[in-house]
Structure 1
Amino acid sequence: MTNSGRNKLDQSFIELDDSEITSKLPREILLRIFSYLDVVSLCRCAQVSKYWNILALDGSNWQKIDLFDFQRDIEGPVIENISQRCGGFLKYLSLRGCQSVVDQSLRTLALHCHNIERLDLSDCKKISDHSTSAISKHCRKLISINLESCVNITDLSLKSLADGCPNLTEINISWCHQITENGVEALSRGCNKIKRFSSKGCKQINDRAVKCLANYCSGIEVLNLHSCDTITDQSIIKIAEKCFQLKQLCVSKCPELTDNTLLSLAQHRSCLSTLEVAGCNQFTDLGFQALGRNCKFLERMDLEECNQITDSTLAHLAMGCPTLEKLTLSHCELITDEGIRQLAAGGCAAESLSVLELDNCPLITDLTLEHLVSCHNLQRIELYDCQMITRAAIRRLRNHLPNIKVHAYFAPVTPPPISGGQRPRYCRCCEIL
């Protein structure tokens, strides 16, 4: 079609009045089409005509609203208008990063949108326990709430949710530093359907809190305790014994944990698919060998800074974890080329491994890259500060795996001494391949 033809078509469309639009696209069809549009597209459609404005702003089209990519500096009146317009239609709302939102706006939201099921309030730093109190009072269908980095939230919020939202299955309280084991205990008792719990960075979450989760929320599938640095083997052993559906566990930066945690997980958690234990430097080959023998469904493992493990761990993972996709071994300084050879030859790497991170593994050499040639699904490898890896070896690897992304760092070459008054020539200090 020529440009003039397109212009005539556009002009004829613009000149259509409401009755013509209605006859060509009945209300039911338009509403169905609009139901697939995002916030920005709906607002644009609302400008086409008066009739489209009515349809685009119909509450039935606003069941799911995510303002993060639309406008982050949302003021209270905007939330209140959305609440009144959507009413009982609204089921999902994300106000992630809307730092101007205050308690009054959330109270209005809770009052009008009583059917809301999923609510993301992460990084809404001005809201407090008053907001969660209103939500728990009016939104009894709530199944998921994200309160990450809501710094004014305390135990009172968890107690309110426990009283008013018995169907809650997902909650994120990461970086809510005022929450303690008392709040988690109340939540566990009142919301025993919880399947996903995250308290990353909550320093007051201790063994008692985790044991309460194990005792009352045995259906937990995803548990993130990153940087809850006072927890010990006792609570994780209780999780392993009670939570039969656990699939993803993060206990990174929990330095009190020992091999007893891994042995218990190996004994009870055969369905575990993701394990993140970065910075748990008391773990040894003993624990990971047990995991390799018993946890056949492991797909992702983060062992960064588990600096006591050796090639023996890799040999057991290669033999026992055929679906391993992502493995992080950064700062595991005892890993050598032989361990990578066993990993690649064991079946898991050649068939499924897609990401391998080896930053700061000083014993790794070019031989490692030769072993990895057989890993046909390998998509990314991290080699920062592996000083015995050369550019030539990386080029050879790429000849076999042309789509692989290799991230490496090469120290700058020392410039020659200045002579004859000439200015020195500088080279690049690093290269990312």
Structure 2
Amino acid sequence: METHPVTRSGHAVSELLEDSGNRRQIINQELSLHLLSDSPFSEQQKLRYVLDWTHSFLSSGSEIHHELSRADGLILADEAHRETQKISPELKVTSCTGPGLHGDQLLALIGRRCDRVTGVDVSWSGATDTGVKALSDGRSELQLKSVVLNGCHVTDDPLTKLIMRHKDSLCRLEVFGCQFLTPSCLQTVFEMCPRLEHLNIGQVPKVNTHSLTVMTSQLKCLISLNLTGLQAVTDATVDTLLQNCVRLQSLTLSSCPGVTDLTLHSISKYAPYIRSFDVSGCKAVTDAGVRSLALGCGRLEQLDLSSTGTGNRGVTLLANYCSGHLHTVKLSFCHITRENILKLCRRCKRLKVLHLYGWTRLPTEREIRGVNTAVKVYPLP
């Protein structure tokens, strides 16, 4: 007998978790929806089913992680870390923009009925001020540690109200691509949440130099920061940032036109223990900057130099001085010889992922396997 789509297990969950690198364990309750597209139910019935199912678990009192995202369809799953028996519940709703499900409905549900949730991610779900307001007006017991609104249509007042409500517990804020946010709003957020550890304000076009100055003076506890595509980012602002945010381990400056080799010199000077660094699309970055990075940041694990001026000399230095920890390197659209790529693969024993998009002559799979059997090259040679 054919299994109903509502109760059919979603194999994509396991694949999603495995690809993400998170060591998690799927527990028994699992719901694969595919937006219930194969079922005869109305859109309203489908939405009601999803909301009821979500509420029953988020309010059940079990200390588990909840995720609702798109992976070959729409998945809602309960997960538990292998190493951790107790974890605060999170709801993750990403890329769900079908007619039967919208980020605002989930945010309203959490605000009304789910007081145990500590993190929400409604990235690219179509969520708007309506949902953010509903979350702000939610149950008094709700204490959010993580708010992720990437790609959502959010404006100043609702976001400020939400942050003010959860300022004492908030550790992560992501508003990538939220084009309506103004510098004054962000400055208020920075001043209210000095204990923020993770911040993503990439592609927020109105960010200016003053708001970045306030950020660097207020957010001393930052561990990860994404400033993708910001015109206001310069070598000088990054230098000040690094001197103030001494705990920073992950920095993304992709497509920031004001970033040059001087920023990489500052990284080596003030953030020698940085683990993840992205300057893809920064055309003024050359081998001179990569030299400083390689000599000063031996614990680098992830590095993206795609579409920069990085060449053979820079890659050779990375192979010689950063081989101990590097596991992900992206060199798409860079001019480097096959011999130096093979040297990088040979020296970096922990290398798992290597991006070489835009190359005309890739090393062959046999050549790569001859020096490193673990690395995966994209695109496939």
The TM-score bracket by the shorter chain reads 0.7 to 0.9
User: Aligned residue pairs: how many?
Assistant: 327
1:377 match? 350
Identity of counterpart residues, as a percentage? 21
1:366 match? 338
Which aligned pairs between 1:31-430 and structure 2 lie closer than 5 A? 67=31, 69-73=32-36, 75-79=46-50, 82=53, 88-89=59-60, 93-96=66-69, 117-125=89-97, 126-127=101-102, 132-133=107-108, 135-154=110-129, 156-164=130-138, 167-177=143-153, 179-192=154-167, 193-332=169-308, 334-346=309-321, 348=322, 350-362=323-335, 364-369=336-341, 371-372=343-344, 373-387=346-360, 391=363, 396-407=367-378
Q: Counterparts of 2:199 and 2:30 in 1: how far apart (Å)?
A: 25
Secondary structure of the structure 2 residue equivalent to 1:316: helix
Q: Counterparts of 1:66 and 1:226 in 2: how far apart (Å)?
A: 33
Question: What is the CA distance between 1:395 and its match in structure 2?
Answer: 5.2
Q: CA 1:80–1:149 in structure 2 vs 1: closer, same or farther (change >3 Å)?
A: closer
Of Structure 1 and Structure 2, which has the larger fraction of its residues in helix?
Answer: 1
Letter in 1 for 2:292: H
Q: What is the TM-score of this pair, normalised by structure 2?
A: 0.74
Letter in 2 for 1:122: T
Q: Counterparts of 2:112 and 2:377 in 1: how far apart (Å)?
A: 52
Q: CA 1:151–1:337 in structure 2 vs 1: closer, same or farther (change >3 Å)?
A: same
Letter in 1 for 2:132: L
Question: What is the CA distance between 1:273 and its match in structure 2?
Answer: 1.6
Q: Are the counterparts in 2 of residues 171 and 197 from structure 1 also a CA contact under 8 Å?
A: yes
Q: Counterparts of 2:70 and 2:367 in 1: how far apart (Å)?
A: 45
Q: What is the TM-score of this pair, normalised by structure 1?
A: 0.66
Q: Counterparts of 1:311 and 1:80 in 2: how far apart (Å)?
A: 53
Question: What is the CA distance between 1:379 and its match in structure 2?
Answer: 2.5
Q: Counterparts of 2:324 and 2:343 in 1: how far apart (Å)?
A: 14
Q: Are the counterparts in 2 of residues 245 and 271 from structure 1 also a CA contact under 8 Å?
A: yes
Structure 1 runs of 4+ with >6 Å offset: none
1:9 match? none
Q: CA 1:87–1:217 in structure 2 vs 1: closer, same or farther (change >3 Å)?
A: closer
Q: CA 1:339–1:117 in structure 2 vs 1: closer, same or farther (change >3 Å)?
A: closer
Q: CA 1:161–1:391 in structure 2 vs 1: closer, same or farther (change >3 Å)?
A: closer
Q: Alpha-carbon deviations, 1:280-317, whole Å to 9, x = none?
A: 12101112211111112211222111110111211111
Q: Alpha-carbon deviations, 1:188-226, whole Å to 9, x = none?
A: 222102111111221112322321221111221111223
Q: Counterparts of 2:294 and 2:219 in 1: how far apart (Å)?
A: 27
Q: Counterparts of 2:54 and 2:303 in 1: how far apart (Å)?
A: 45
CA RMSD of aligned residues (A): 3.2
Unmatched runs of 5 consecutive residues or more in structure 1 = 1-38, 42-62, 101-115, 409-431
Q: Counterparts of 1:86 and 1:246 in 2: how far apart (Å)?
A: 32
Q: CA 1:330–1:121 in structure 2 vs 1: closer, same or farther (change >3 Å)?
A: closer
Question: What is the CA distance between 1:94 and its match in structure 2?
Answer: 4.1
Q: Counterparts of 2:136 and 2:375 in 1: how far apart (Å)?
A: 48
Q: CA 1:319–1:172 in structure 2 vs 1: closer, same or farther (change >3 Å)?
A: same
Q: Counterparts of 1:81 and 1:339 in 2: how far apart (Å)?
A: 55
Q: Are the counterparts in 1 of residues 338 and 363 from structure 2 also a CA contact under 8 Å?
A: no
Q: Are the counterparts in 1 of residues 316 and 343 from structure 2 also a CA contact under 8 Å?
A: yes
Secondary structure of the structure 2 residue equivalent to 1:219: coil
Of Structure 1 and Structure 2, which has the larger fraction of its residues in strand?
Answer: 2
Q: Which one has a bigger Cα radius of gyration?
A: 1
Secondary structure of the structure 2 residue equivalent to 1:189: helix
Q: Are the counterparts in 1 of residues 196 and 219 from structure 2 also a CA contact under 8 Å?
A: yes
Please identify, of 265-274 and 373-382, the stretch whose mean Cα deviation from structure 2 is larger.
373-382
Letter in 2 for 1:143: T
1:48 match? none
Q: Counterparts of 1:80 and 1:134 in 2: how far apart (Å)?
A: 7
Please identify, of 378-387 and 157-166, the stretch whose mean Cα deviation from structure 2 is larger.
157-166
Which structure would you say has the larger RCO, counting Cα contacts within 8 Å and 6 or more residues apart? Answer: 2
Please identify, of 70-79 and 313-322, the stretch whose mean Cα deviation from structure 2 is larger.
70-79
Secondary structure of the structure 2 residue equivalent to 1:275: strand
Q: CA 1:94–1:371 in structure 2 vs 1: closer, same or farther (change >3 Å)?
A: closer
Letter in 1 for 2:229: K
Question: What is the CA distance between 1:134 and its match in structure 2?
Answer: 5.5
Q: Are the counterparts in 2 of residues 188 and 212 from structure 1 also a CA contact under 8 Å?
A: no
Q: Counterparts of 2:261 and 2:209 in 1: how far apart (Å)?
A: 17
Q: Counterparts of 1:283 and 1:202 in 2: how far apart (Å)?
A: 22
Q: Are the counterparts in 2 of residues 247 and 271 from structure 1 also a CA contact under 8 Å?
A: yes
Q: Counterparts of 1:161 and 1:217 in 2: how far apart (Å)?
A: 18
